[in-house]
Structure 1
Amino acid sequence: MFVTYGMEAVLTRKEQIEKTATALFKSKGYAATSMRDLANALGIEAASIYSHIRSKEEILQRVCFKMADEFFDALDAAESMESTATVRLQRAIAAHVQVLTQNTEASAVFLHEWRHLSEPLHSNFLALRDKYEARFREIIHEGIQRGEFTVPDEKFAVLTILSALNWIHTWYKPEGKMTPTEIAENLSEMLLNGLRS
């Protein structure tokens, strides 16, 4: 939540901690980031952080599962209208790109630092990832059945698509040449050309 003063939106202390920690997790890695690093970046005493969060892992958990929710919500919206498998896959790719580019720091943490989650969170996260990938496989399977795609292995096709998309956070810049929509359109064109019959 945030507090508003006039037209200004001010992050709560917990949100400031999460935002700063996310940036540190991306730049240094979760394991190499200490609570002292976080306190120094925030300009506060390390002990005072614990009045807002229980642990470093709580922040990682919040980032990873919040991002997972955003990916599923975007995919649900993308698939809300009936269409061909080709159009559904284009929309799914666009939805994935939009989430990745909204917050590249959180995207990087979501994609690379989830491995540091302890159980049962680690297993829960993997289950969500499998469920998300299965949604893409369903689209491709439907495309094969309808004669839209020629794919020897559905899982390999999905991993290829998601691998291509998941590098975006490393090079995307809001001020860059292409908007997220243009990136999605270009990637869809290149990726789908390899799937079509």
Structure 2
Amino acid sequence: MSSIRERNCALILRAASEEFADKGFAAAKTQDIAERAGLPKPNVYYYFKSKENLYREVLASIVEPILAASQPFDPAGDPCDVLSRYVRAKVRISRDLPFASKVFASEIMHGAPHLAPDLVERLDRQAQHNIACLRGWIAQGRMAAIDPQHLMFTLWAATQTYADFDWQISTVTGKPKLDDEDYDAAVNTILTLVLKGCGL
């Protein structure tokens, strides 16, 4: 029974991510989400109770990987290794969870009205930790004196663009969908710019 529940919840979450990414929270309809998932509409309410709860679950599903991407940040870590692992993880999120990433970006652009306070607090705490690590490495002379906050903003923008602005990327590249070589090229390009810019 639990495997059926897990399967159905996964189908609904993926469908909801796509629907919310395409139409936004207000315009997305539960019926359309159910049809995308290939399940009856009552199943959506059975598992998630409301459209609002489902939207929050989509947000939570992307926040956890975002937080996990920051695990390499450690004051004792090697800046080159930490930044490399972080960039790879963030590009992987854009590749594997593009719709949830778009939903998250839209939520942030609208002032995060639906993002649970505990998730906001965890994201902020992690960002402050990452910035503190960067400041420490700069103070120790282990990397160039780049503004730590703006470096993090740049990393977020550079990695998330592959999900949030996929239409623009597809238009420029002439490809309907990027492949593994494209994502590898993205990682290598970002890392070349970031590591050289940080004197690493």
Deviation at 1:27, TM superposition (A): 0.9
Deviation at 1:40, TM superposition (A): 4.0
* Paired amino acid for 2:64: D
The answer to whether 1:124 aligns with 2:128 is no
Could you say if the C-alpha distance between residues 99 and 44 of structure 1 is closer, same or farther in structure 2, counting changes exceeding 3 Å?
closer
Q: Distance in 2 between matches of 1:80 and 1:2?
A: 37
Q: Distance in 2 between matches of 1:99 and 1:45?
A: 29
* Paired amino acid for 2:49: R
Q: Which has the higher strand share?
A: 1
Q: Count residues with an aligned counterpart.
A: 185
Q: Deviations over 1:1-43 (max 9, x none)?
A: 745xxxxxx9722222211111001111122102233234345
Q: Distance in 2 between matches of 1:101 and 1:131?
A: 25
- Contact between 1:30 and 1:113, CA under 8 Å: does it hold in 2? no
Q: Distance in 2 between matches of 1:162 and 1:74?
A: 11
The answer to whether 1:108 aligns with 2:125 is no
- Contact between 1:29 and 1:113, CA under 8 Å: does it hold in 2? no
Q: Deviations over 1:132-184 (max 9, x none)?
A: 32233123212311221122x321222122122221213374526423x4422
What is the RMSD of the two structures over their aligned residues, measured on CA atoms? 2.9
Could you say if the C-alpha distance between residues 174 and 191 of structure 1 is closer, same or farther in structure 2, counting changes exceeding 3 Å?
same
Structure 2 unaligned runs (5+)?
Answer: 170-176
- Contact between 2:62 and 2:104, CA under 8 Å: does it hold in 1? yes
Large movers: runs of 4+ above 4 Å? 42-45, 79-82
Equivalent residue of 2:21, what SS? helix
The answer to whether 1:63 aligns with 2:58 is yes
Could you say if the C-alpha distance between residues 80 and 101 of structure 1 is closer, same or farther in structure 2, counting changes exceeding 3 Å?
farther
Deviation at 1:48, TM superposition (A): 4.5
* Paired amino acid for 1:56: K
Larger deviation: 85-94 or 108-117? 108-117
Among 153, 160, 178, which residue is 2:154 paired with? 160
The answer to whether 1:89 aligns with 2:83 is yes
* Match of residue 6 from structure 1: none
Q: Which has the higher helix share?
A: 2
* Match of residue 18 from structure 1: 13
Q: Distance in 2 between matches of 1:51 and 1:83?
A: 45
* Match of residue 193 from structure 1: 196
- Contact between 1:79 and 1:91, CA under 8 Å: does it hold in 2? no
Larger deviation: 133-142 or 51-60? 133-142
Among 35, 48, 54, which residue is 1:53 paired with? 48
Q: Percent identity?
A: 18
